[in-house]
Amino acid sequence: MNYVAPVNEQRFVLETVTGMGALGVESDLVDAVVAGAGQFAAGYFAPLNRIGDVVGAKWAAGRVVTPPGFREAYQAYVEGGWGSLDGPEEAGGQALPFALATVVLEDLGSANMAFALCPMLTVGAIEAIQTHGSDEQKRAYLPKLVSGEWTGTMNLTEPQAGSDVGALRTSATPASDGSWLINGSKIYITFGDHDLTENIVHLVLARTPDAPRGTKGISLFLVPKFRPDTDGNFTIANDVRCVSIEHKLGINASPTCTMAFGDGGDCRGWLIGPEMGGMRAMFTMMNNARLNVGLQGVQIGERATQAAIAYARDRVQGKPIIEHPDVRRMLMRMKALTQGARALIYAAAGDVDRAKAGDENARRRVEILTPLAKSWGTDVGCEVASLGIQVHGGMGFVEETGAAQHYRDIRIAPIYEGTNGIQAADLVGRKLALDGGSAIAELLVDIRADGANVPTLLALADAVERVVGWMQAHDSDDRLAGSAALLKMMAVATAASLLARQHDVAVARFAVGEGDPAFLNAKIATARFFFDHIVAEAISHESSACCGAAGLYALTDEELAA
């Protein structure tokens, strides 16, 4: 099935949830970007989704080759300026809001999630260099990264150092010319090598001589595939190579690389920020990436929902299966979850823009919304993709329909960029106490204001407040045991409040005949389904959130394995 960007939905959410008008962008420009991004994604990225899955990225003789058509589509992406939307003007970017770039990335990922991972990782590299790099580094690297002529990666994980980043062993030794000699290996590096661009800029975590153990001793280095010569031209092959790529459940067109640095003793890197300041710089990349990973749930949710509705309309079992109540239940759930996740992530993106402009309240809100968006957004993507297979019935289990690919592709998203369990731990470990608890309290005030006319949402807000109070009175293990349940409750409550805002606008416009009545009616019905079903379910998680840790350890390790 062909992908069609949900332009009306995206534009409506930008207006009612993101507050695009307050970000200083003319309405006509917003409309042009939203429409153009959808057309580009449908025309260039979507046709390659199937071939990317079947053919996949290939590794041979130390280099990666992308599937047929990918190089041409990526060149069109660069020429269209799609990667430069929210880039800094001094580096050739258009300095448009991150929220608008979020819409573009949604379309690219819905069209082809595996392919969209390439520009998504570049965004994190740009943010890290812009925030922590030297003026010289910004001049040398940002223009090419912002334009998309070069791509960027994050090199964090090692075989013994996954979530425990402090266990990494990659080393950096100072050289006489101001560079550092990098030695070590990294695994699971997305687009660590490819044939789309002439250079790849790796951001690599490493440990300098005499640095303390753990995360305090970590530094961040800029390690290009081709490094500059004495004239500043990037012509010297650096001692960095891809030694293999993974064979995965999904996202087959995205090469997941094992990278070797310094096998020949001459891999050069340059320090970004201060020595042993790597964790701070890393989180600049990670926080950006976590919102974009949450967005992947929306990407796949949208594509899977479109495919399931199209199939249900055509498939006849006595009558078109879209008329059967259980199929209709699944389709409405897919639609409601996807719209709820989109609202949550677009709201967070708007707060990122306001925080960059100096709004302290927005900065605090992003701190709260990031773990919700990453974790619940990706869980939504998995659930919606699974429902999509169910709607297709037996044909959903057959690769030709594409329904299985959606599930295979999205299943990684709850794992990378900090597992969803880590997001929940961050919520109860750090975010509940943010600003003495006032950040959470302010969120609940806003949820109740938006949901004043939604009884289930008010009940959920009360339940969240009770759980937060319970957790503040209990120890770390008890909080962690209920963390996933609380995160889901908070994410659903926040999404519901944003849908309530959209619902009220849609009702008002429908009443006076303003706007597309079919779209407004669908928005009203979908929001009400979310309130009646998704919100009602979330209330039931209160007891689980407050059970404590004792039940998790009622069995010994041996008994658990018996």
The SS3 assignment for 97 reads coil
Q: Which of 302, 367, 383, 417 is catalytic?
A: 417
442 counts as catalytic:
no
End-to-end CA distance of the chain: 46
H or E stretch covering 201: strand 200-207
Which two structure tokens, joined as six digits, stand for 299? 């990407």
For residues 301 and 385, the answer to whether their CB atoms sit within 8 Å is yes
What is the 8-class DSSP label of residue 228?
A: E
Closest CA to 2 of 45, 31, 32: 45
What is the 8-class DSSP label of residue 295?
A: H
Closest CA to 46 of 70, 22, 16: 70
Phi/psi at 271 (nearest 5 deg)? -65, 135
Cα separation, 399 vs 404, in Å, equals 6
For residues 53 and 252, the answer to whether their CB atoms sit within 8 Å is yes
200-207 and 151-155 strand pairing: parallel
Question: Looking up tokens 């350890």, which residue turns up?
Answer: 553
Cα separation, 109 vs 91, in Å, equals 25
Question: Looking up tokens 């960059």, which residue turns up?
Answer: 356
Closest CA to 100 of 77, 115, 82, 116: 82
AA identity, residue 145: L
Cα separation, 558 vs 562, in Å, equals 6
H or E stretch covering 423: helix 420-429
The SS3 assignment for 269 reads strand
Cα separation, 29 vs 42, in Å, equals 20
In SS3 terms, 11-32 reads as HHHHHHHHCHHHHCCCHHHHHH
Residues linked to residue 269 through DSSP beta bridges, in sequence order: 180
Contacts of 557 (CB under 8 A, 6+ apart): none
Cα separation, 352 vs 18, in Å, equals 10
Residues linked to residue 207 through DSSP beta bridges, in sequence order: 171, 218
Using N-to-C axis directions, what is the helix angle for 360-392 and 403-410, rounded to 10°? 140
Question: Looking up tokens 């949402």, which residue turns up?
Answer: 457
Query: CA–CA distance from 218 to each of 1, 210, 277 (Å)?
Result: 47, 11, 7
Residues classed as catalytic: 417
